[in-house]
Structure 1
Amino acid sequence: MADRSQGRGVCLLYRTTLAPQLVGVELQPRQGGVPPALLVLLALQALLMLQALLALQALLALQALLALQALLALQALLALQALLALQALLALQALLALQALLALQALLVLLALQALLALQALLALQALLALQALLALQALLALQALLALQALLVLLAQKALLVLQALLVLQQAEEL
């Protein structure tokens, strides 16, 4: 199909430019001249070569354009992949940082809770020891008071016994 359109172009070019010049021209060469048919043939060959050159240039330009488009598409794809990889990396780093922060917060809460429990246990132990000491002191004071009371009672009993003995001695002396 391309050959037909090129052929039509050649015929059109021949009819519009070369044919009017060839009207009335002899087909025999003049002395030392170039035959008109050879001129037509050379002109047609030059035209075909020009068309082939233009077609080749158009093809090369198209190939260059397609290669450039492919290169640009590849560059865009690589840039997009790099951007997505960077976004994924940043998201992963943020997630890891958040997880580390949450783990640290949980650890701090746990340590604070342990410290609070240890403090409560220490305070409870101190209160228990203080209570035990108070009870022991109260028991000691009660025992001392009881012993003092017993000593007083013994002393009073001894005095009473002495008084009773003295009364008995007086009574016996009165009876004599």
Structure 2
Amino acid sequence: MKADSTVPADSACTGGLPSAALAGPVSHAVSRVARLHRITAGRLLKGLGLYPGQEFLMMHLWDTGAVRQAELIKAMDLDPSTVTKMLQRLEQAGHVRRRPDPDDRRAVLVEATEESCALHAEVRDAWSDLEEHTLAGLGPAERAELTRLLAMVEENLCQETGDCPAR
């Protein structure tokens, strides 16, 4: 019988992981989970007329009120052109408004509109659904432990990259 050349000879030894990921099974798992979580969130947000990432921008505006566009770009930690495109789409949908900053006419203030209040509740509900779907089968103690462990992982990565978000 001829061996299948598409399957590595030692595939039974990898435990289902790609051979390059054998030295980092947790990192591989985190990457897979993050990818699937983003896909699931994207599906929920699509039903609200949002693209992934736009909900974070809106969450920031709902919590902070009007901010300069430059400050928003910094807070979102995204390329300015990406934030500009997000704002254009959100403005067209009636969720944000941009206006000159009265203290500095060169700057632009961005704020959530009154019309976005309904979206606020829908985003909160979508994130609640995502949370329940993501953590199905985990009890309260397991959820708390997972949250604690992920916070430690985030802190490790934050220190490594030197790119710690403001809390």
For the aligned pair, the TM-score class normalised by the smaller chain equals under 0.3
Higher strand fraction (1 or 2): 2
Task: For CA contacts below 8 A with separation 6 or more, give which structure has more relative contact order.
Answer: 2
Length-normalised TM-score, structure 2: 0.20
Length-normalised TM-score, structure 1: 0.20
Higher helix fraction (1 or 2): 1
Which protein is bigger by CA-based radius of gyration? 1
